[in-house]
Amino acid sequence: MATDPIRPSDGELAILRVLWDRGPSTVRDVHADLSKGRDMGYTTVLKLMQIMVDKGLVTRDESARSHVYQAAQGEGPTQTCLLRELMDKAFEGSAKSLVLRALSESSAGTAELEEIQATLDRLRKERR
């Protein structure tokens, strides 16, 4: 039986993005990637990743001298968890309101709008 994805904090989500992009990584690897875009200390990253192990957001392979961490859940389930929370909190559960607001606030180009339309067409056919 699958469990619901765990909702990560903003800092945890930044670490998960690195792990999703890089794959299994050491704290040093994650810190190096995160340091490119923000000022975050090594010990802060280490502590966050230790907490993430305890929460079940990442797994840790301790077989080597430098422990290797890996995301315990995929990007899709995490995004779905965050999206459902946003939809419930800000849009009273309305997918329509969420999508219309997102589209009206974005600068989606023609190609992106065509992809969105193709997805809508596919979903419409699947639900018939």
E strand map for the chain = 58-61, 68-71
Residue with tokens 């995301």: 71
| Per-residue CA distances from 12 to 17, 51, 72, 87 (Å) | 9, 9, 12, 21
Q: Which residues of the chain are in CATH 1.10.10.10 domains?
A: 10-71
Could you list the pLDDT tens digit for every one of the 128 residues in the chain? 456 678 899 999 999 999 999 999 999 999 999 999 788 899 999 999 999 999 999 999 999 888 999 999 999 999 998 999 999 999 999 999 999 998 888 888 899 999 999 999 999 999 98
CA distance 22 to 9: 20
Smallest CA-to-CA distance from 24 within 58, 75, 63, 48 is with: 58
Residue with tokens 């989500």: 13
Smallest CA-to-CA distance from 98 within 82, 111, 114, 110 is with: 82
Note the pLDDT of residue 3. Answer: 63
Model pTM? 0.81
Note the pLDDT of residue 2. Answer: 52
- CATH T-level topology, domain 10-71: Arc Repressor Mutant, subunit A (1.10.10)
Q: At what angle do helices 27-35 and 42-55 cross, to 10 degrees?
A: 120
Note the pLDDT of residue 1. Answer: 42
